[in-house]
């Protein structure tokens, strides 16, 4: 095809993400529910990050004084160190809140479907205000007291218009109780993160990465795995919107290298891919692509000799290894060297910090084989109780 004819055949998209203005009665209903709250909570989902209404979302949180929780890809919409973040008191606020504003977040399995123990359902129902672009998301799993349908930018600015000088901030008992729990949990966590053991545990290694990200808040963090995902999500603070990419709602392993490459190509920013060793294996050969295009990607492999733990025993009694166990002490760093990138073994937090800092400074494709104690992990998601054997015993 002739290139000019080709170009001329393209449609110029005038309004790719059209505003969808919420109905005024829906805005009023949402504000009325919110005004009746004694223990309100705002929950930011990745929809809130996609909407790119960062300033309005921040203003909503700060003007209303309501504590908030970010879902994993909404981290950094406000810096994770923000005073009003309740992330370090997550289980407390989910159980105790009486009105929850969902901003581009869905009550799916990541939020225990809005019911059960997580939400202290036995203490009575909570009221939900749900902002979403899609009306079909409303009332899935639990009834929504105040649905607010529209694009997030328009919905949030409509709410903001109602949060005026007569607005009263949430009761001090609520915010003080959260602050108290946050302080306690954060100081406990600080001690755990400072652990300097070798081989490293997840906390020691993630404590090192967390400090490097703090110094380079523009870096993009990619994350997949089981323990490697669960721990990194809560330990590595994010400071800027849309800098964290992970396996998302369905927890699909294998996205990491593709995400890292795409992020590096489109932003030219340093990319830190925090990868479980199993997770990495799903698309590990992309290190060749990273080297071919000389992308500023540093892959950090949390090498715990397998999935969850490297110490599992094959339950069938044959001499085959357990299905969750990998070849011990694998030399992942050599994979990167095979294509001309830099490979490093890190057995201490200091070695990890140093290698990561150097990777970011040079922008060279790097793979750090971070050696993690194979006994340090647990079965992911704390779903052991759902195992058929355990469930049968518990009956």
| Residues near ligand TPP, by CB under 6 A | 225-228, 251-254, 276-279, 302, 304, 307-308, 377, 380
Instruction: Kindly state the tokens that stand for 217.
Output: 């808040």
Residue 51 burial (10 A CB sphere; 0-12, 13-18, 19+)? buried
Helix (H) / strand (E) element for 266: namely helix 256-267
User: Which residue, 16, 15, 30, is CA-closest to 158?
Assistant: 30
Cβ proximity to Mg ion, 277 vs 373, nearer residue:
277
Cβ proximity to ligand TPP, 85 vs 283, nearer residue:
283
Kindly state the smallest distance separating residue 253's Cβ from ligand TPP, in Å.
4
Kindly state the smallest distance separating residue 30's Cβ from ligand TPP, in Å.
35
Per-position DSSP letters for 117-183, written without gaps between them? GGGTGGG-PPEEEEEES-GGGTTSSS--SEEEES-HHHHHHHHHHH--TT--PPPHHHHHHHHHHHH
- 276 lies in the site for Mg ion, by CB under 5 A: yes
Kindly state the smallest distance separating residue 276's Cβ from ligand TPP, in Å.
2
Q: Which of the choices ligand TPP, Mg ion, none does residue 64 contact, using the CB cut-off of 5 to 8 A by kind?
A: none
- 366 lies in the site for Mg ion, by CB under 5 A: no
Cβ proximity to Mg ion, 277 vs 286, nearer residue:
277
Kindly state the smallest distance separating residue 339's Cβ from Mg ion, in Å.
23
Q: Which of the choices ligand TPP, Mg ion, none does residue 154 contact, using the CB cut-off of 5 to 8 A by kind?
A: none
Cβ proximity to ligand TPP, 239 vs 332, nearer residue:
332
- 72 lies in the site for Mg ion, by CB under 5 A: no
Kindly state the smallest distance separating residue 304's Cβ from ligand TPP, in Å.
5
Chain centroid offset of residue 195 CA: 23
Kindly state the smallest distance separating residue 225's Cβ from ligand TPP, in Å.
3
Kindly state the smallest distance separating residue 277's Cβ from ligand TPP, in Å.
4
- Residue 86 CA to residue 170 CA, distance in Å, equals 14
Extract long-range pairs of 136-141: CB within 8 Å, 24+ residues apart: 137/106, 140/106, 140/107, 141/107, 141/108, 141/113, 141/114, 141/115
Kindly state the smallest distance separating residue 325's Cβ from Mg ion, in Å.
10
Q: Which stretch binds Mg ion (CB under 5 A): 97-105, 239-247, 301-309, 362-370?
A: 301-309
User: b/e per residue, 241-273, with b = 16+ CB within 10 A?
Assistant: bbbbbbbeeebebbbbbebbbbbbeeeeebbbb
Residue listed under structure tokens 């015993």: 393
- 374 lies in the site for Mg ion, by CB under 5 A: no
DSSP character at residue 326: -
Q: Which of the choices ligand TPP, Mg ion, none does residue 283 contact, using the CB cut-off of 5 to 8 A by kind?
A: none
- 277 lies in the site for Mg ion, by CB under 5 A: yes
Taken as a whole, the chain contains a residue count of: 395
- 275 lies in the site for Mg ion, by CB under 5 A: no
Cβ proximity to Mg ion, 253 vs 271, nearer residue:
253
- Residue 306 CA to residue 285 CA, distance in Å, equals 18
Cβ proximity to Mg ion, 128 vs 282, nearer residue:
282
User: How far apart, in Å, are the Cα atoms of 383 and each of 14, 290, 305, 380?
Assistant: 47, 35, 21, 7
Q: Which of the choices ligand TPP, Mg ion, none does residue 254 contact, using the CB cut-off of 5 to 8 A by kind?
A: ligand TPP
Contacts with Mg ion by CB under 5 A lie at 276-277, 304
């Amino acid at each position: 095809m002739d290139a000019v004819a080709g170009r001329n055949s393209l449609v110029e998209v005038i309004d790719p993400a059209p505003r969808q203005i919420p109905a005024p009665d829906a805005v009023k209903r949402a504000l009325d529910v919110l005004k009746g709250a004694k223990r309100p909570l705002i929950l930011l989902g990745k929809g809130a990050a996609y909407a790119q209404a960062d300033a309005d979302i921040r203003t909503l949180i700060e003007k209303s004084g309501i504590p908030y929780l970010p879902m994993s890809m909404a981290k950094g919409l406000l810096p994770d160190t923000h005073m009003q973040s309740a992330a370090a008191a997550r289980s407390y606020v989910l159980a105790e809140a009486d009105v929850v504003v969902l901003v581009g977040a869905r009550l799916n399995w990541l939020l225990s479907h809005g019911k059960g123990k997580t939400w202290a359902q036995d203490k009575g129902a909570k009221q939900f205000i749900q902002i979403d672009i899609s009306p079909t998301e409303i009332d899935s799993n639990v009834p929504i007291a105040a649905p607010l349908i529209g694009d997030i930018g328009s919905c949030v600015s409509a709410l903001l218009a109602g949060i005026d000088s007569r607005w009263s901030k949430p009761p001090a008992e609520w915010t003080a109780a959260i602050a108290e729990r946050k302080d306690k949990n954060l100081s406990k966590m600080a001690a755990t993160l400072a652990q300097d053991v070798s081989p490293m545990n997840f906390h020691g290694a993630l404590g090192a990465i967390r400090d490097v990200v703090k110094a380079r808040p523009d870096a993009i963090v990619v994350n997949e795995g089981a323990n490697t995902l669960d721990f990194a999500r809560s330990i590595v603070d994010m400071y800027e919107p849309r800098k964290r990419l992970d396996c998302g709602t369905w927890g699909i392993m294998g996205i990491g290298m593709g995400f890292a490459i795409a992020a590096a190509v489109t932003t030219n920013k340093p990319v830190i891919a925090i990868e479980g060793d199993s997770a990495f294996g799903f698309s590990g050969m992309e290190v060749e692509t990273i080297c071919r295009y000389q992308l500023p990607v540093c892959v950090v492999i949390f090498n715990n000799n397998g999935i969850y733990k490297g110490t599992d025993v094959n339950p069938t009694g044959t001499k085959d290894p357990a299905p969750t166990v990998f070849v011990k002490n694998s030399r992942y760093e050599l994979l990167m060297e095979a294509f001309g990138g830099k490979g490093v073994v890190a057995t201490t937090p200091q070695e990890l910090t140093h290698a990561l800092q150097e990777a970011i400074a040079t922008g060279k494709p790097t793979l750090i084989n971070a050696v993690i104690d194979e006994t340090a992990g647990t079965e992911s998601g704390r779903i052991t109780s759902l195992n058929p054997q355990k469930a049968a015993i518990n009956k």
